[in-house]
Amino acid sequence: MDAPWFDPVTFGAWFGAIVGGGAGALCGIWGALCGILSPRGKGRKVILGGMFMFVIIGLILSGIGLFALISGQPYGIWYPILMVGLMFSIIPGALIPVIRKNYQQAENRRIAAESIRVG
């Protein structure tokens, strides 16, 4: 086992509080924006781009967490990194198709409304 990268107790507490709490709040706000903007067809690039960024950050954190696990770091170091990484990659990754479908439905409603106005 390598020497711990950080003090496991302090790191787990601070990483969980700052990254887990802060990132969880950010994801909640982003989810609210998705729920408001995607049915209206607004902000497609920003919303989907943000979701892909969450997935990329999650994959990076998952890789770091797995590296810490394999290299023999204590539980208090690898677990919070891996947990936040998995949450960031799985949840937004699973919701991307749902959000795309919302945007497609909004586009279909817009096209139908234009055809009614013209016809």
Instruction: Give the integer Cα–Cα distance in Å for 88 and 56.
Output: 8
pTM for the structure as a whole:
0.83
pLDDT in tens, 67-119: 999 998 998 889 989 999 999 999 999 999 999 999 999 999 999 988 888 75
What is the tens place of the pLDDT at every residue in 32-67? Answer: 999 999 999 899 999 999 999 999 999 999 999 999
Torsion of CA 101, 87, 66, 76, to 10 degrees: 170
Digit-coded pLDDT (tens) for 24-37:
898 889 989 999 99
Q: Sort 46 into a burial class: Cβ within 10 Å, 0-12 / 13-18 / 19+.
A: exposed
Judge residue 64's burial from the number of C-beta atoms within 10 Å of its C-beta, 0-12 exposed, 13-18 middle, 19 or more buried: middle
Segments making up each domain of the chain, as ranges = 8-118
Are residues 39 and 105 in contact, defined by beta-carbon separation less than 8 angstroms? yes
